[in-house]
Each structure stands twice: as structure tokens, then as C-alpha cells.
């Protein structure tokens, strides 16, 4: 506090008086100090920013806490996790709660603390959104004790799902052909959007129910009874196996990218505990693998596996030939479209036990789809994950 010896004029109620100086000059004088020098307490309004935080106290800490938050977010992004519960952030950063909220408030969209990513407050945590692959939704952000987010309703998701369904050739009488179409016609984002629809809705549509059956039969969807200790979801399906994971080259069950859903939330990528993974493993069986020596086989084998295509992942059909030159007797399959027409014709003759000179197809994509279907009918086509439900 400044000017502590301030005496206002109001306490001297005597008006103006005349004073004579030593030079015999007369001046009018009023006792008391001018209002301009009246002391004032600390101006709290001057240091509170528009978000309601004490910027003067926090701004020198912001850089450090933002770096800590950035490191945590990058750690989650590297694991493929794009939603973090607020309590997890609080526990891992271990800083004062008000400072933590201030740091988050100074880091969310439209501000950017990580290149190519925005973060927004969503429900009871933080959602990470890629600038490259997704548009930022217009949000009304309401900061309550739970940091909830109210989103403007939109039919865009429903429209997107309709487009996804139309890309799949669904034949309700042919599970194998529908499965092949599902795997080969969707990219990773479309595939996961379909999974999310299944996990969050009580589906009554015949096509969706049929796709559920196809996905569970192949081991993609995870039922509640397969991981009984998981308590955050009691729906029929509680999660999925990511079939676009390119890191698990050896297709080991311990390295499967298992993602669990937290019921009534947007969390679809909860990690599994060791106990949960062990429970899952007991409920799955491994399918046959590609023979070590293809020259001993009477027909080719196929394998649908993921590959990166620009900014997305797609599935491609690889064919393992019985030819000693093409196949080299080992697991050196090639993408189906890269074979010559004569090779494709030989594959079809082997599969159908025929001796035709030429099978006619519109293009290589249609031809390869046909080969995939026929191989699956012969149990000669592998689809990820290789670990299928035991009760099928």
C-alpha cells in the first residue's frame, strides 16, 4: 500500500484559511491531501485475465506446465490413444489443480501446443484431434466442475455411416463374400467408425446385425464374456481388435492391439490390463498359418493384411503361390494385383480344379476379390486377427 500517511480533506471541516508567508504574502490553503494521492489496495482486477485466472501468479509457470502436458499428450498419441480422462492427467502431472486447469485452458483449441494436433475439453477429459485428418467440430465449451462439453447436434455422423455401409457389398445369404468386401473396401477410419456404431447402439437393422456377426466370427469384436473382469461396459460387445495395426508383424496374441470401450463415453481405446489380456487369450484360438513350404500345396493361400496408403491404412490381398519360382517355397506372398494374368488364371484353375485357358473378369480388382472369396470358402484365406472366438 502506497501513501500510507494520506489524510483526506473531509476530516478537516474548516474550509479554506489564509496563511502569511515569511515574505508577507498571503495564500489560501485547505488542510488535507489531494484525492489523487489516495492510497489503494492491490488491484485484483488488473491481474485477473478474461478466463478468471490470476495470470500474474501463473504466467511464469505456464511454460513449464505446458511442456509437461505436451509430453504427456505425445506419449498418449504414440500409443494411439486420443482421449485422456481428466483424473489421469491430474495424477500424472501432479500439479496444483487450479494451475492445471489454467494450463489446459491456455492450451486448447484454437491454441496449438503440438504440431498437427488440436486439443479440446471433452466430457471428463481431453480429446486430441489431428489437424490433417479431421475437421474441428464447432463446440460450446462449458467449464463446470466436471469440464463437460456440449456439442451442437449434427447428422454428419449418420451420413458418414450410410456412405460406409454402401461401400460394402452386403449379401445376407453369404457371410464370406460380405466379410471379404468389408475388409477390402474400407480404410482404417471407416472401419473403426463402423465398429464405434456397433459398440454404442442397440442395432435393429438387419445389415448392421449381419456385419456384427461377420466381425465377431473373424475375432474383431470382443464380447463381454471374453473379458469378464472388465467392469466399465456391460454391453454385448465391449471392444475390438485393431486389424490395421502394422507393428505386430508376427501376429502374436500378446501384442494384439486390443481396444476396450467405456460405456456411454467417447473412449474406445482403453488399454487392457494383464489380467484382461489373459482372460481374452483363454477365449481365443489361433487359425492355421501359411504353410512353410508352398510347393507342397495344391492351391495358393491368401492373406489380407494392412498397408499404409498416403495418410490412411487399407487392407490388401496377398497371394502365396505354389510355384517354386514365384513362391520360392517360402512365405513370400505378393499383392494379388501385381501378378500377371497367367498367374491369376493358374490360381483359379488350382482352386477350382479346372483347366481353363482364360477366366474372364472386368479388371484385376474384381478378379482378386473373386480369388479372395474362393480362398475363404476353401479355408485358405487368413484374416486378422488370427485369433478367433472359441465358441464359433
In the predicted model, is pLDDT for residue 137 greater than 60?
Answer: no
CB 170 within 8 A of CB 207: yes
- pLDDT band at residue 375 under the 50/70/90 scheme: very high
Residues 179 and 208 in one domain: yes
- 281 and 142 assigned to the same domain: no
Percent of the chain with pLDDT over 70: 79
pLDDT for residue 149 is more than 50: no
For 32-71, the pLDDT digits (tens) are: 777 666 665 544 444 444 444 445 555 667 778 888 888 8
CB 191 within 8 A of CB 181: no
Cβ atoms of residues 104 and 143 within 8 Å: no
147 and 162 belong to one structural domain:
no
Q: What tens digit of pLDDT does each residue of 164-173 get?
A: 999 999 999 9
Q: How far apart, in whole angstroms, are the C-alpha atoms of residue 191 and residue 48? A: 47
Tell me how far apart the alpha carbons of residues 261 and 136 are, in angstroms, rounded to a whole number.
23
Q: What is the DSSP letter of 33?
A: B
- 182 and 98 assigned to the same domain: no
Average per-residue pLDDT in the chain?
81
Q: At what angle do helices 188-200 and 156-167 cross, to 10 degrees?
A: 110
Residue 359 has pLDDT above 50, yes or no: yes
Separation of alpha carbons 324 and 327, rounded Å: 5
pLDDT at residue 153 is higher than 80: no
Residues 299 and 379 in one domain: yes
Domain end (from 127, 151, 175): 151
Centre a 10 Å sphere on the Cβ of residue 265 and count the other Cβ atoms it contains: 17
> CB 387: neighbour CB atoms within 10 A?
19
- pLDDT above 60: residue 151: no
| Residue 333 predicted with pLDDT over 50 | yes
- Per-residue pLDDT tens over the stretch 227-258: 999 999 999 999 999 999 998 888 999 999 99
More confident residue, 388 or 67: 388
More confidently predicted of 363 and 157: 363
Confidence of residue 103 (pLDDT cuts 50, 70, 90): confident
Q: Burial level of 17, CB count in 10 A (0-12/13-18/19+)?
A: exposed
Which of 106, 134, 151 delimits the end of a domain? 151
Q: Are strands 381-383 and 139-141 parallel, antiparallel or unpaired?
A: unpaired
The b-or-e profile of 220-255 (16+ CB within 10 A means b, else e) is bbbeeebbeebeebebebbbbbbbbbeebeebebee
- Strand, helix or coil at 34? coil
Indicate if the pLDDT at residue 203 is higher than 90: no
SS3 of 269, please?
coil
Counting residues of the chain whose pLDDT is more than 90, the rounded percentage is 42
Query: What confidence tier does 143 reach under pLDDT thresholds 50, 70, 90?
Result: very low
Q: Are strands 312-320 and 381-383 parallel, antiparallel or unpaired?
A: unpaired
pLDDT for the residue 150: 31
Q: Domain check: are 326 and 348 in the same one? A: yes
pLDDT score, position 19 = 72
pLDDT at 69: 87
Count CB atoms within 10 A of the CB of residue 331. Answer: 16
Residue 154: the pLDDT is: 38
pLDDT at 217: 97
**DSSP of 125-143:** EEEEEETTT-PPPPEEE--
Q: Residue 185 has what pLDDT?
A: 96
Question: Do 279 and 304 have their domain in common?
Answer: yes
**Amino acid 106: pLDDT:** 81
Among 36-45, 298-307, 317-326, the range scoring the smallest mean pLDDT is: 36-45
DSSP 162: H
What is the rounded CA–CA span in Å between residue 232 and residue 95? 28
Of 116, 151, 186, the residue at which a domain comes to its end is: 151
Buried b (16+ CB within 10 A) or exposed e, 137-150: eebeeeeeeebebe
Same domain, 357 and 341: yes
- Highest-confidence segment of 26-35, 263-272, 337-346: 337-346
201 and 56 inside one domain: no
Domain residues for the domain of 360 are: 154-392
Q: Regarding beta strands 301-309 and 381-383, do their DSSP bridges make them parallel or antiparallel, or are they unpaired?
A: parallel
Dihedral angle at the C-alpha atoms of 321, 327, 332, 336, nearest 10 degrees? -40
Using DSSP bridges, classify how beta strands 301-309 and 284-286 pair: parallel, antiparallel or unpaired.
unpaired
Number of domains in the chain: 3
How big is the chain by its Cα radius of gyration, in Å?
34
Residues 52 and 30 in one domain: no
pLDDT for 135 equals: 45
Q: Is 163 found in the same domain as 128? A: no
pTM of this prediction exceeds 0.75: no
Local structure of 307: helix, strand or coil: strand
CA–CA dist 51, 241 (Å, integer): 42
* Count of residues making up the chain: 392
pLDDT score of 225 more than 60: yes
pLDDT in the model for residue 13: 66
Amino acid at each position: 500500500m502506497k501513501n500510507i500517511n494520506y489524510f483526506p480533506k473531509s476530516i478537516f471541516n474548516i474550509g479554506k484559511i489564509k496563511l502569511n508567508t515569511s515574505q508577507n504574502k498571503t495564500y489560501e490553503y485547505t488542510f488535507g491531501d489531494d484525492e489523487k494521492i489516495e492510497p489503494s489496495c492491490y488491484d485484483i482486477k488488473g491481474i485477473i485475465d478474461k478466463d478468471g485466472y490470476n495470470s500474474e501468479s501463473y504466467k511464469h509457470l505456464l511454460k513449464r506446465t505446458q511442456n509437461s502436458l505436451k509430453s504427456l499428450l505425445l506419449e498418449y498419441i504414440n500409443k494411439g490413444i486420443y482421449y485422456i480422462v481428466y483424473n489421469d492427467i491430474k495424477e500424472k502431472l501432479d500439479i496444483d489443480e487450479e494451475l492445471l486447469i489454467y494450463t489446459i485452458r491456455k492450451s486448447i483449441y484454437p491454441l496449438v501446443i503440438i504440431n498437427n494436433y488440436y486439443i479440446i475439453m471433452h466430457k471428463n477429459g481431453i480429446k486430441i484431434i489431428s489437424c490433417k485428418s479431421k475437421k474441428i467440430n464447432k463446440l460450446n465449451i462449458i467449464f463446470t466442475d466436471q469440464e463437460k462439453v456440449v456439442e451442437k447436434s449434427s447428422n454428419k455422423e449418420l451420413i458418414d455411416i450410410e456412405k460406409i455401409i454402401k461401400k460394402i457389398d452386403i449379401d445376407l445369404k453369404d457371410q464370406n463374400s460380405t466379410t471379404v468386401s468389408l475388409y477390402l473396401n474400407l480404410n482404417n477410419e471407416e472401419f473403426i467408425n463402423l465398429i464405434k456404431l456397433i459398440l454404442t447402439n442397440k442395432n435393429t437393422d438387419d445389415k448392421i446385425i449381419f456385419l456384427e456377426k461377420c466381425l465377431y466370427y473373424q475375432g474383431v469384436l470382443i464380447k463381454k464374456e471374453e473379458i469378464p473382469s472388465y467392469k466399465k461396459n456391460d454391453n454385448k460387445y465391449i471392444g475390438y481388435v485393431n486389424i490395421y495395426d502394422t507393428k505386430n508383424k508376427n501376429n502374436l496374441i500378446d501384442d494384439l492391439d486390443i481396444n476396450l470401450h467405456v460405456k456411454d463415453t467417447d473412449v474406445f481405446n482403453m488399454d487392457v490390463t494383464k489380467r484382461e489380456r489373459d482372460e481374452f487369450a483363454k477365449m481365443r484360438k489361433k487359425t492355421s498359418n501359411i504353410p512353410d513350404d508352398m510347393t507342397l500345396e495344391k492351391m495358393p493361400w491368401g492373406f489380407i493384411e494392412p498397408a499404409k496408403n498416403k495418410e490412411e491404412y487399407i487392407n490388401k490381398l496377398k497371394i502365396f503361390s505354389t510355384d517354386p519360382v514365384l513362391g520360392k517355397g517360402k512365405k513370400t506372398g505378393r499383392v494379388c494385383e501385381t501378378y500377371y494374368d497367367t498367374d491369376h488364371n493358374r490360381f483359379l484353375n488350382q482352386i477350382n480344379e479346372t483347366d481353363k485357358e482364360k477366366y474372364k473378369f472386368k479388371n484385376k480388382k474384381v478378379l482378386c476379390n473373386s480369388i479372395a472369396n474362393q480362398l475363404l470358402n476353401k479355408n485358405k484365406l487368413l484374416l486378422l486377427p488370427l485369433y478367433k472366438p472359441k465358441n464359433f
